[in-house]
Structures are given as structure tokens and as C-alpha cells.
Amino acid sequence: MAKRGVRIRIQGLTHRYSARSALTFERVEVEAQAGEALAIIGRSGCGKSTLLHIVAGLLRPTHGSVRLDDTLVEGPSPRWVMMFQAPHLFPWMQVAQNVGIGLRFAHRPKDEIRRRVADAIRLVELQEFADANVQDLSGGQQQRVALARSLVMEPELLLLDEPFSALDAFTRAALQRDVRSIVKRLGINMVIVTHDIDEAVLMSERALIMAGRPGKIFHDIPIDLNGPRERQDPAVQDMRARLMKAFEEATRLQPGDSDDEAPVRTGAESRPGNIAKTVVATGNLGPTRA
């Protein structure tokens, strides 16, 4: 399964769901090197899933483009595969059949499918469950099947949309570690959307902080930690605090995110009486707020 990642180039990406609705996000620019793992953090509703669906080719953007190496993303492809918040397995198929479905779509020969499915199932450590009915698996096991179903395609880019948020803390921690190690071992790119800052620190090399309405990327913070990442590690804790601060700053600059007052972009534009926001927007980025 050895494969290298892709260079990601997202340029001028702007999206609105319909001509009448407001912009979901505006002029999003992202570049990533082959093999890099990105995390996108942001409040609910800021457009993270929309962005990921566009990168996966499941949604066409209003403006802008996504390029993976030199390929323009215009639709889904086995080269870039998305994994969703819920497993959405096909209940009429067993585990192995679910894992192999993408290869069947790609008309691969039967013995190749069998071999690659067995590899993928081993990768997520579900060997004993290969012939199980997916409805008999736990939530975490089902999400592992969904992961194997994505990995079996040998994608160059794995897109994860809050893949562990429905799981309990222990399963989540185990899967975060496993997915990172698998992705690193295969050398592929990963983009993970999350609103869990710990998850971003534990799993990625860069965190993009998205906020506002329409959404924008406010910060692009490298997470340069060496070695295995443990939650209690002081370096991890430091990183976490930095991200938290950047996140709060970004969301405070965008009041539309936390309440429904008119957006305040600069101090000059703010209305009288909106003192707290004006102070924040003019650069007082103190760590606490009433």
C-alpha cells in the first residue's frame, strides 16, 4: 500500500448554496505539501463540512478551484476519499463486502479485491469480524470499517469530517492514534475537520482556524511536535493552549459566529454602543473576556 501524498492547492474558493442564500465561505486559500496532515477547526456552521465536500468533489464550488498535484477536482475519485461523521455502512453487506465496495465500483478483478480488502481489514484490526454483519458491530468498530473502506482505495488524500465525534472518549483516543499512524505509514495526505482542539493537536501538522460568516481561514498554525503525541505531554498541552487562544481570538473577531449582531470587521466600522467588540476588534487580545 505504499503511496505518496499529493500537493493540495485550494485557490479563491467561495461558496453559496443557492443564489439567494448568504455566502458560506469566501476566498479560502490553502496550500499543503505532499504527506502533510491538516486540521480544520471552527465553530459549528462555519462551513467546514462544505469545504471538505468541495475538496472531495462531492459539491461544486461557486468560485475557485481545488487542485491535487496537477489534477483539478471536478468530482469524486478513488484518489481522494472522504470519511464521514457516521459510518453509513450498507447493512445488507458483511464487513468485507462493505470494505470492498469501492473496488467493485472500480471494476477491479475479484482476487485483487479479496487481497486488498484483507489488507485493509488487517490495517484496522478487524480480522475476526471480516464476515460479521455490520449491524452487529459497535459504533467504534463500524467507524473502523468505514476507515478501511476509505483506505482500501489507496487514496492519496484522506478527508475526514469529524470522524470520531460520535464515539466514546476511549474509542476516540484509540482511533485518533491509529488513523494518524496509518496515514503517516502510508505517507498520504489527510485533512481532518474537527471542533475538538485536542484532536487537531494529536493528529495534524497544521491547524487552520476557520471562523465567521461567511467563513474565512483566520490562522494557519504549524503543530511541530516530534515523536508520539500524548495528551498529557507538556508540549501537547502548550500547543493546545496556543490553538485555543488563536481560536478564541478568531471567533471574537467575528461576532457573527457567537451571536447574531451585525458583523464587526474593523474598529472603524463598529457601531456606537458596541464597546466590548470595538475594543476586541482594535487589537486587545487579552486572554479573558467577561
Partner 1 sequence: MIGVAAPAGSLTSLCQRVFGVRRLTCGILGLLAFAALWELGTMLLGLNPATRTFVTFGPIPTFKSVPFLWQTDRIQDAVVASGYRIGMGMLLAVIFGVPIGILMGLSKRFRELSNSGFQFLRMISPLSWMPLAVIMYPDWNQAIIFLIAIAAVWPVIFATAAGLAKVDPNWFKVARNLGANPVHMISLVILPAIAFDVFTGIRLALGVAWIVLVPAELLGVTSGLGYAIRDARDTLSYNHLTVMVLVIGIIGWFLDGICVALITRYSWRHRVAG
Ligand X SMILES: Nc1ncnc2c1ncn2[C@@H]1O[C@H](COP(=O)(O)OP(=O)(O)OP(=O)(O)O)[C@@H](O)[C@H]1O
Query: What are the residues binding partner 1 (CB under 8 A)?
Result: 56, 58, 76-78, 81-82, 84, 86, 88, 90-93, 101-102, 104-106, 133, 135-136, 149, 153
Nearest to 255 by CA among 281, 223, 284: 281
- Is residue 50 part of the contact set for Mg ion (CB under 5 A)? no
Task: Report the residue from 24, 26, 49, 117 that binds Mg ion according to the rule CB under 5 A.
Answer: 49
- Is residue 216 part of the contact set for ligand X (CB under 6 A)? no
Task: Report the residue from 26, 28, 36, 48 that binds ligand X according to the rule CB under 6 A.
Answer: 48
Residue 225: count other Cβ atoms within 10 Å of its Cβ.
Answer: 15
Nearest to 194 by CA among 170, 166, 213: 166
Choose the contact partner of 105 out of Mg ion, partner 1, ligand X, none; CB within 5 to 8 A by kind: partner 1
Choose the contact partner of 45 out of ligand X, Mg ion, partner 1, none; CB within 5 to 8 A by kind: ligand X
In the complex with partner 1, the residue whose CB is nearer, 17 or 90, is 90
- Is residue 9 part of the contact set for ligand X (CB under 6 A)? no
- Is residue 46 part of the contact set for ligand X (CB under 6 A)? yes
Q: How far apart are CA 46 and CA 224, in angstroms?
A: 26
CA angle (210 as vertex; 26, 5 as ends), nearest 5: 90
Coil, helix or strand for 36?
coil
C-alpha dihedral, 119 to 123 to 127 to 130, nearest 10° = -70
| Residues within the interface to ligand X (CB under 6 A) | 17, 24, 42, 44-50, 195
